[in-house]
């Protein structure tokens, strides 16, 4: 049915304006979670010195006397794996390079050990520090209250190379209910441990390399998000210990993939993402350096965004990322550096 008159003209004008504005894409890298999880150049050292963070002082005891907060199993097994991964990552330059070497040499058991250790390390880091407060600020700022329900802008697409659960933790904190599947009612999350239909009325979140905290065991999905709910408590520590013992000795497949792997599940995530970005006109890059490992996929992303006309690059030192970003384009795109990193940048193009 056609709408005529002044109201109809206004409706068409609003519709046209929305079409011109297009979708807003956020591209996140390690810097986006730096207040909670060490960035690439720091994570090796944090893994090797991890023992210092799992002790607590006894009440009334001298500062040098500490009680072990975790079980001996965790101390002997988890810390040994963390030190192993830290040393190997350091000797190979980065964890990514170590992982690629294992992949090329088909050392599958060591690669599985790497993914298990990394997944639990990220879970523990988030149990300890919860999340980077900037995610809270961002989601609260862009959220609206509609019909007594919190809504995020449906034209928003968030993509990340990080394995962490930062966005989900902050969203559930905002919603006031820590039930991971509840987050899926407010944002489409890929990948996920359950096969759910896509909802066009809510924004999207794509984890390009998978997500710490879930995977499969004998073809059945599992998730460890309950570890993130209460932080470090006696119960969560016991649950962590049991989960780690099972994960480190069993046949679980942790849903973490590196850029060059792209398992069937992650390949589907990336394909879905490329389908959804055709209308993107504005890109906000937060803490992402456009590394060589991801260059081929990054080029594909920009090729799939024919209407992309403006890019904001938020970084303490944006010159390096911007230089690498320019090399990925064969057309002119306006690039704006954003040096302040106390909050995630919200462009004027994102209607809130």
Residue 76: the pLDDT is 73
Q: How confident is the model at residue 29 (pLDDT cuts 50, 70, 90)?
A: very high
Whether the Cβ atoms of residue 84 and residue 77 lie closer than 8 Å to each other = no
- Three-state secondary-structure class, residue 250: coil
Is residue 285 domain-shared with residue 186, that is, in the same domain?
yes
Lowest-pLDDT range of 38-42, 218-222, 296-300, 334-338: 218-222
Is residue 226 domain-shared with residue 324, that is, in the same domain?
no
Is residue 142 domain-shared with residue 200, that is, in the same domain?
yes
Is residue 89 domain-shared with residue 161, that is, in the same domain?
no
Residue 1: the pLDDT is 32
Of 351 and 219, the one with more pLDDT: 351
Is residue 141 domain-shared with residue 109, that is, in the same domain?
no
Q: How far is CA 122 from the centre of its chain?
A: 11
User: What is the Cα–Cα distance from 148 to 143, expressed in whole angstroms?
Assistant: 12
Is residue 48 domain-shared with residue 190, that is, in the same domain?
no
User: What is the Cα–Cα distance from 188 to 199, expressed in whole angstroms?
Assistant: 7
Q: Is 201 within the bounds of a domain?
A: yes
Sheet of 204-207: strand order equals: 188-190, 204-207, 156-160, 23-28, 280-286, 310-314, 334-338
DSSP 335: E
Is residue 124 domain-shared with residue 138, that is, in the same domain?
no
Q: How confident is the model at residue 67 (pLDDT cuts 50, 70, 90)?
A: very low
> Per-residue pLDDT averaged across 101-105, rounded?
95
Q: How confident is the model at residue 21 (pLDDT cuts 50, 70, 90)?
A: low
Whether the Cβ atoms of residue 110 and residue 92 lie closer than 8 Å to each other = no
Domain boundary among 201, 231, 256: 256
Global pTM reads 0.86
Residue 8: the pLDDT is 42
Most confident stretch, 138-152, 211-225, 242-256: 138-152
Q: Is 346 within the bounds of a domain?
A: no
Is residue 184 domain-shared with residue 225, that is, in the same domain?
no
Of 5 and 206, the one with more pLDDT: 206
User: What is the Cα–Cα distance from 351 to 168, expressed in whole angstroms?
Assistant: 22
Residue 66: the pLDDT is 44
Q: Is 10 within the bounds of a domain?
A: no
302 half-sphere exposure, CB direction, 13 A CA radius: 21
Q: How far is CA 285 from the centre of its chain?
A: 13
Domain boundary among 256, 288, 320: 256
pLDDT value at 16 more than 80: no
Is residue 321 domain-shared with residue 266, that is, in the same domain?
yes
User: What is the Cα–Cα distance from 302 to 27, expressed in whole angstroms?
Assistant: 12
pLDDT value at 193 more than 80: no
Q: Is 351 within the bounds of a domain?
A: no
> Per-residue pLDDT averaged across 284-300, rounded?
93
CATH of the domain at 190: 3.40.50
Q: Is 12 within the bounds of a domain?
A: no
State phi, psi for 73 to the nearest 5 degrees: -60, -45
- Mean of all residue pLDDT scores within the chain: 83
Quickly list DSSP for 192-226: -SS-----TTS-EEEETTEEEEEEEETTEEEE-GG
Residue 4: the pLDDT is 33
Is residue 231 domain-shared with residue 184, that is, in the same domain?
no
Of 231 and 7, the one with more pLDDT: 231
Is residue 189 domain-shared with residue 295, that is, in the same domain?
yes
Q: CB-based contacts of 237: which residues, under 8 Å, 6+ apart?
A: 69, 70, 71, 74
Q: Is 145 within the bounds of a domain?
A: yes
Q: Is 110 within the bounds of a domain?
A: yes
Is residue 296 domain-shared with residue 191, that is, in the same domain?
yes
Q: What angle do CA 247, 39, 32 make, to 5 degrees?
A: 100
- Three-state secondary-structure class, residue 145: strand
Host domain of residue 245: 37-58+69-128+215-256
Residue 327: the pLDDT is 93
- What domain count does the chain have? 2
Q: Is 156 within the bounds of a domain?
A: yes
């Amino acid at each position: 049915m056609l709408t005529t008159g002044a109201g109809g003209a206004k409706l068409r004008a609003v519709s046209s304006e929305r079409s011109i504005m297009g979708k807003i894409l956020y591209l996140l890298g390690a810097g986006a979670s730096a207040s909670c999880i060490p960035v690439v150049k720091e994570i090796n050292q944090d893994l090797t010195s991890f023992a210092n963070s799992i002790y607590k002082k006894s009440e009334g005891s001298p500062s040098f006397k500490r009680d072990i907060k975790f079980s001996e199993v965790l101390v002997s097994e988890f810390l040994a794996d963390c030190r192993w991964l830290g040393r190997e990552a350091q000797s190979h330059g980065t964890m990514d390079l170590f992982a690629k070497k294992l992949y090329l040499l088909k050392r599958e058991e060591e690669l599985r050990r790497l993914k298990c250790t990394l997944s639990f390390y990220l879970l523990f880091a988030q149990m300890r520090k919860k999340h980077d407060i900037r995610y809270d600020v961002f989601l609260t700022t862009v959220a609206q209250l509609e019909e007594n329900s919190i809504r995020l802008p449906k034209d928003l697409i968030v993509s990340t190379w990080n394995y962490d659960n930062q966005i989900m933790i902050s969203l559930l904190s905002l919603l006031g209910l820590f039930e991971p599947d509840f987050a899926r009612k407010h944002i489409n999350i890929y990948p996920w441990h359950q096969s759910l239909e896509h909802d066009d009325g809510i924004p999207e979140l794509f984890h390009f390399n998978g997500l710490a905290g879930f995977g499969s065991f004998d073809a059945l999905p599992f998730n460890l998000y309950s570890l993130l709910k209460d932080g470090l408590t006696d119960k969560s520590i016991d649950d962590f210990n049991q989960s780690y013992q099972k994960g480190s000795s069993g046949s679980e497949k942790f849903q973490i993939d590196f850029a060059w792997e792209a398992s069937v599940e992650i390949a589907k995530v990336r394909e879905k993402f490329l389908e959804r970005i055709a209308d993107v006109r504005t890109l906000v890059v937060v803490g992402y350096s456009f590394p060589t490992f991801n260059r081929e996929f990054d080029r594909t992303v920009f090729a799939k965004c024919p209407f992309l006309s403006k890019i904001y690059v938020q970084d303490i030192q944006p010159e390096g990322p911007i230089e690498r970003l320019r090399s990925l384009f064969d057309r002119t795109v306006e690039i704006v550096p954003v040096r302040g990193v106390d909050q995630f940048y919200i462009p004027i193009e994102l209607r809130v």
